[in-house]
Amino acid sequence: MADDLTLETGSGWLEGVRRVPSPNCDERPAASEPELIVVHNISLPEGDFGTPHVEALFCNCLDTAAHPSFEEIAPLRVSAHALIRRDGELTQFVPFTKRAWHAGVSWFQGRDCCNDFSIGIELEGCDWQPFEDSQYRCLASLVRLLMATWPAIDAGRLVGHSDIAPGRKTDPGPHFDWQKLKNLL
């Protein structure tokens, strides 16, 4: 992803990026703006890349017959603001101005309900494999744009799902290279 990402600030949608609107979002609480970026990993089935299943999950149309593990997760109502595929392709599901349902039970610096004040970015991946350079480049470009748009977000407010839901979540996992991301910022 090039550094030419632009954001329609009124709508919260990125320009020129594939949009797949998820119904799994709502308005942020009054006077709440993004102050935190949460990095996740996801693949469905776990460890399979390039499938349409993540998109289907975020749009409430996951086919439970496609894999045995989908029966348990299909009823979930979850989303993220964006997904970065292995090749660096960026898809946006929820406007950044709205609340995506990505963090679940969570806590950051004395505040709970991180969905209220965070942006959730999913990387196509799993805990046991390294991420691709194209994903780091795209993520860094997106993070720079979000930091410029919402100044409360800084490098100290760039965390993994495991940081805000310890013991419950492990993503983005031990193969996510935080230093590599920070070097690209």
Nearest to 85 by CA among 44, 116, 113: 44
Q: Nearest CA to 146 among 12, 2, 1, 11?
A: 12
Q: Which of 8, 15, 35, 122 is catalytic?
A: 122
| Catalytic residue flag (residue 122) | yes
Length of the chain: 185
Q: Which residue is listed with tokens 């993004």? A: 34
d(CA 85, CA 168): 24
Distance of CA 28 to the CA centre of its chain: 16
H or E segment to which residue 56 belongs: helix 53-58
User: Is beta strand 107-108 parallel, antiparallel or unpaired with respect to 111-112?
Assistant: antiparallel
**Phi-psi category of residue 82: left, alpha or beta, with phi > 0 → left and psi -120 to 50 → alpha:** beta
Q: What are phi and psi of 94, to 5 degrees?
A: -135, 135
* Distance in angstroms (rounded) separating the CA atoms of residues 103 and 96: 14
Q: Which residues are catalytic?
A: 122
